[in-house]
Amino acid sequence: MEFKWLVRDELSQLKDIDRKEFVGEVYYVRNQTLRLVKEYYDIEGWLESELTIYVQRLESLFDRDGIIIGAYEQDVLVGLVSLESYLIDGKTMKLDMLYVSHDYRGKGLGRRLIDIIAQEATELGAKELYISATPVRNTVDFYLRLGAELANPPDIYLFELEPLDIHLILPI
- CATH number of the domain to which 14 belongs: 3.40.630.30
- Of 65, 70, 62, 53, the closest CA to residue 16 belongs to 70
The identity of residue 115, as a single letter, is D
Q: Encode pLDDT of 78-96 as tens digits.
A: 999 999 999 998 999 999 9
Q: Domains in the chain: how many in total? A: 1
What's the pLDDT at 146?
98
Domain that holds residue 94: 2-171
Select from 107, 109, 111 the least CA-distant residue to 2: 109
Task: Give pLDDT, residue 2.
Answer: 97
